[in-house]
Structure formats: structure tokens, C-alpha cells
Amino acid sequence: MGPAYEGIDFGMAERTIIKSAMSALNIDRNYFEKEFKKSGDLGQTVESFKKLYKSFEEKDMEVLAVFDFFYKLATASGNGSQDVKVSLLSQLIRQLDPLSGRYLVRLPTGIIRLGFSDMTILDAYSWMLKGDKSLRPIIETAYHVRPDLGFIGKMLKEKGIKGLEEIEPKAFTPIIMMKAERMSSAKEIIKQIGKCLVEPKFDGFRLQVHYLGSDPRRGSDPTESLPKVRLFSRSLEDVTYMYPDIVEGVKKEVKADELIIEGEAIGYNPKTGEFLPFQETVQRKRKYDIGAKSIEVPLKLFAFELLYLNGKNFIKKPFIERRKALEQVTIKNKDISKQIIVVDHQEEVDKEERLEEIFDQAVAKKLEGVIAKKIDGIYQPGARGWNWIKYKRSYSSKINDTIDCLVMGYDFGKGKRTDFGMGAFLVGVRDEKNDKFVTVAKIGTGLTDEEWRFLKIKSQISKLKDKPMNYSVDKAMNCDVWISPAIVVEIKADEITKSPTHTAGLALRFPRLEKFRDDKKPEDVTTLEELQHMTR
């Protein structure tokens, strides 16, 4: 309905779309869901049902009229709004042809499956103007600062490529954030980027800070001249109101006329100064009770990038220059414990031994790991660039904490997993005290296409009609198919966390298949007690 950062959501996904389709086509839930699971695609399911049951209401509709329906749907709120959404989508499904039906239901899910996406559309804009994709770099640069395909297209039609030159970094226009590539040893990193600057990696959430210092020239209204701060999340949502403590910190501890910096926000225990686990930090992302929560869980912002300063664009400057500028714009509080905007220590490294040491120290401090940044690397907006390399605890071959799990059941896959007949599987450990299997994770990654097919075939032998008595499973983890104790897998994870849904009371963070353990029997899997001891 618009660019992501404008914050207009459909508020409607799979479950509610199914309701709309059932109501539009007058189909029983079980029948619809059965066909949906078979095809793994809501669009295809609706399309084929529409072909089967021809409707006499079908008519042509203007694109703008359809847009209007979706706009009403997306903006419906309050009492009865769910019914409004269902009814609007249901009308569209009834009134349009089967092929349109396919895309009507795909649209709100965001999975359109046209085989192209934003980047291809940028190419198309270039073709539109020049008949080839030579203008793509200019267009893409503008898109990084203004990630709105509609806006870029309109600008190009109205003003041509020159229009895009007006789009440049400035305070309060968020920039698509860069991500780091991954590597699993100091050796590889030094080989890849040579001399680098190494900094700790904190487990919080990303914030991009935009700041305009006080300036009497900014208008006659006295409030106009006060310092202004905006905070953007990784999806470029404006989240300023959620973090008043960070806003105050910026006003006190940053000196500049205009700047854009980036950092990782992490909660800490105000009494002990210890950093909090992600699950607690993320509770700060909220709409209500902001004041109370900000006292309970205060944040620090570890600033690690500077993209813009006083009219000067730093995006294409070497990292070492950005870093120097960053150090210069922060004011140090006399009481370090009260500092909110922190530019943490960083070390220049060109030997793998030293890098490995810094990594070990970071891990010992219970941090996620380190980020190594190429010393003269530019900031690559919107890319997962090689100028930043993350080296996390879980990647390291030195540390190998995997657990052996029992495969308890599986779900049918969607999209390209449909053919495999499996999209994810539920795994658990043995609770010896109660003689049961309790769940710890669902696994949806780490298998090659061939391994998915292999696991599907293997699991058919043990397929069951119902969930076994000795499986303890929360209903949120219900499976399409249950299988009896037979298959053992080795699962890797970044961390073991407390869980509200998995019956082990613990869950694996970022779980993935490491390997199949055909050499092990169900009795040999990790026990709940062992798992509890592994929790750091």
C-alpha cells in the first residue's frame, strides 16, 4: 500500500485470508485447508477453487478501485474491524476472475511470487529511460535513501534522472542499513580484508539516529530552534517515541549541527550494570508503559557508525574517517556508568592471532562475538557487504555445542518446499523423570533439497495417526504429521533460552540441522537435565 517505513500494514495474514476465501467461495474449512496444504500456496488454492465454482458476479474492475478496497482493508481498525477486513477481501475474491484471485490473496501476505522484486524494478526504471541498465547505480543510490519504489518511479517520470540527484542523505530521511557478512575464523577474515578495525558485537537491536542541533535560524517559533532527534529501526520505522532515554542521551552527549549515526541499543541492569539478554532488551520495543519500562530496563546505545555530519556525506568515505568523526561528535560524561551514547573501544588488527584473542575475550564476556571492519571500506547501504564481517561464537569451529534431538513430527511445506512434502520438523529431548519427550525447537533450515526429500521418505515408515501419549507438546507447536520415536538429528543453535511455548521450558535460538545421527537411537538423545546444564 506504500513504502514499508510509512507503517501501513494489512493486519491480515494467512489465518484471516483463509476466512475470507471460505466466506467468498462458500467452502468448508477442512476442505479448503486440505487443498491449501496440498498446494502450499494460498493464491493457487483460491484460483483453483474459483475455476471449479464459477461465479456469476465476476466483472472487470479498475486497478484504482481494487487499490481502494485494499486501502480500506488496511486502514480498518477497532471493534468489528476483523469482519470488515474479511468482508472486503471476500468481495474482491468473488467479483474478480480466478487469476486475479491468485494475486488478491498473495498481496497481503507479501509473497507475490512474480520472480522479481525491488532490485529488478530498479533495473526496469533504467530500461525505461535508456534502454539498458546503465542507470541502475544512480537509481539504486537514490533508493537507499528513499526506499519507496512508487516515489522513485514518479520522480523519474516527472523529472527524469536529474530528479534523483535531489534525493541525498539528510537528517530525518532514513538510510537502508548495511548488514555484515559472516565468517568462522580469524584466519579467513584477515585473508578477506587484511588490516581491520575490530569491535565487540552486542546482542540488542539496531537504531539509526538522526539529529539536528539547536539553531536559531530555523524559524521564529522558539520550539523550531530546539534540538531534534529521530530514531529509526532496522526496517526504517520511526520509533523515536519508544526510546525517550536514548533521545535525551543524544541531546546531551552528541554535538553537531546535523548528523546521522548508527548503533546497537541494549538493555542493562541499572543496579549491577550487567547487560540483559535479548529477550529482555526487546521488551523496550513497545507502545505503552514506556516511561515505567525505561526505568526498569534502561538502554545504552553503542554507536558504531557515522553516515552524515554537518552537510557532509560520509557514506563513501573510508571507515577509518567515519570512525574518527564519530569519536569527535560524542561528549563524554564524567560518570561513565551514566553515559548513554557509547563509542566503545576498538582495536586495529592485522594478525589473525590477535583477532582470535579479541574474539575469545568477547566470548568470555558473554558477548555475541566481534565485527571486523575493513579499514578503508565504504558504508554499503542495503547490502550485506564484505566491508563488515561478523564472527559469532556459534560460527566458530572451536566451540561446538550441539544437541541430539528426536524428530517428533513435521509440517507440510509451502512454496518451493511443497514438493518435498515437508517444510519444518519438530524436535525434542528426553525428560527422564516423567518418561516423556519434551520439545525444544522446530527446524526449518540446514537441510539441502536432497536431505528434505530423504527425511520425508524416512519419516513415512514411522508415520502415526495421532500424537503419542509420551509426547508433551504445546498446541502452538502442533504438527501436520506425527511420527513415532525413530529418527535422531544433531541440532546446532546460537543459544539456549527460556521458553514460554516449548515444553522443555527451554528453546534453541536460531536452530538448524547440523547432521543426521543414524548411529543413535531415540534413547540416546540429549536429556532435559543435560540441556539444563548447558544453559549458560
Q: Which residues are catalytic?
A: 201
* Binding test (CB under 7 A) with DNA, winner from 26, 120, 269, 535: 120
* Residue 421 binds DNA (CB under 7 A): no
C-alpha cell at 6: 510509512
C-alpha cell at 428: 525434542
* Residue 334 binds DNA (CB under 7 A): no
Q: How far is the CB of 424 from DNA (least distance, A)?
A: 4
Q: According to CB under 7 A, which residues from 63 to 82 bind DNA?
A: 77-82
In sign, the C-alpha dihedral spanning 263, 269, 275, 277 is: negative
Q: According to CB under 7 A, which residues from 232 to 271 bind DNA?
A: 233-235, 237, 239
Distance CA 415, CA 381 (A): 29
Q: How far is the CB of 458 from DNA (least distance, A)?
A: 17
Binding range to DNA, per CB under 7 A, among 2-10, 46-54, 251-259, 325-333: 2-10
* Residue 414 binds DNA (CB under 7 A): yes
34 or 182: CB nearest DNA: 182
C-alpha cell at 496: 539456549
* Residue 507 binds DNA (CB under 7 A): yes
* Residue 383 binds DNA (CB under 7 A): yes
- Vertex 116: Cα angle to 111 and 119 (nearest 5): 110
* Binding test (CB under 7 A) with DNA, winner from 195, 251, 285, 436: 285
Question: For the range 324-333, what are the long-range contacts, defined as Cβ-Cβ under 8 Å and sequence gap of 24 or more?
Answer: 326/261, 329/254, 329/255, 329/256, 329/259, 329/261, 330/253, 330/254, 330/255, 330/303, 331/252, 331/253, 331/254, 331/255, 332/253, 333/252, 333/253
| Residues 333, 263 contacting (CB under 8 angstroms) | no
Pairing state of beta strands 299-309 and 341-342?
parallel
Edge-to-edge strands, sheet with 369-374? 179-182, 384-392, 369-374, 196-201, 347-349
* Residue 34 binds DNA (CB under 7 A): no
Binding range to DNA, per CB under 7 A, among 163-171, 274-282, 331-339, 353-361: 274-282
* Residue 147 binds DNA (CB under 7 A): yes
Q: How far is the CB of 367 from DNA (least distance, A)?
A: 12
Q: According to CB under 7 A, which residues from 95 to 114 bind DNA?
A: 108-111, 113
| Residues 233, 286 contacting (CB under 8 angstroms) | no
DSSP state letter for 476: G
* Binding test (CB under 7 A) with DNA, winner from 47, 199, 203, 262: 203
Binding range to DNA, per CB under 7 A, among 254-262, 352-360, 397-405, 494-502: 494-502
| Residues 52, 27 contacting (CB under 8 angstroms) | no
Distance CA 48, CA 229 (A): 51
| Residues 197, 375 contacting (CB under 8 angstroms) | yes
182 or 324: CB nearest DNA: 182
* Binding test (CB under 7 A) with DNA, winner from 214, 269, 501, 532: 501
* Binding test (CB under 7 A) with DNA, winner from 103, 151, 386, 516: 386
Three-state helix/strand/coil letters over 298-363: CEEEEEEEEEEECCEECCCCCHHHHHHHHHHHECCCCCHHHCCEECCCCEEECCHHHHHHHHHHHH
* Binding test (CB under 7 A) with DNA, winner from 511, 525, 528, 531: 511
Q: How many residues bind DNA (CB under 7 A)?
A: 93
Binding range to DNA, per CB under 7 A, among 88-96, 118-126, 153-161, 321-329: 118-126
* Binding test (CB under 7 A) with DNA, winner from 209, 362, 424, 481: 424
* Residue 450 binds DNA (CB under 7 A): yes
* Residue 495 binds DNA (CB under 7 A): no
Q: How far is the CB of 59 from DNA (least distance, A)?
A: 27
The site string for DNA over 168-187 (x = CB under 7 A, - otherwise) reads -----------x-xx-----
Q: Name the residue type at position 2.
A: G
* Binding test (CB under 7 A) with DNA, winner from 287, 345, 365, 536: 287
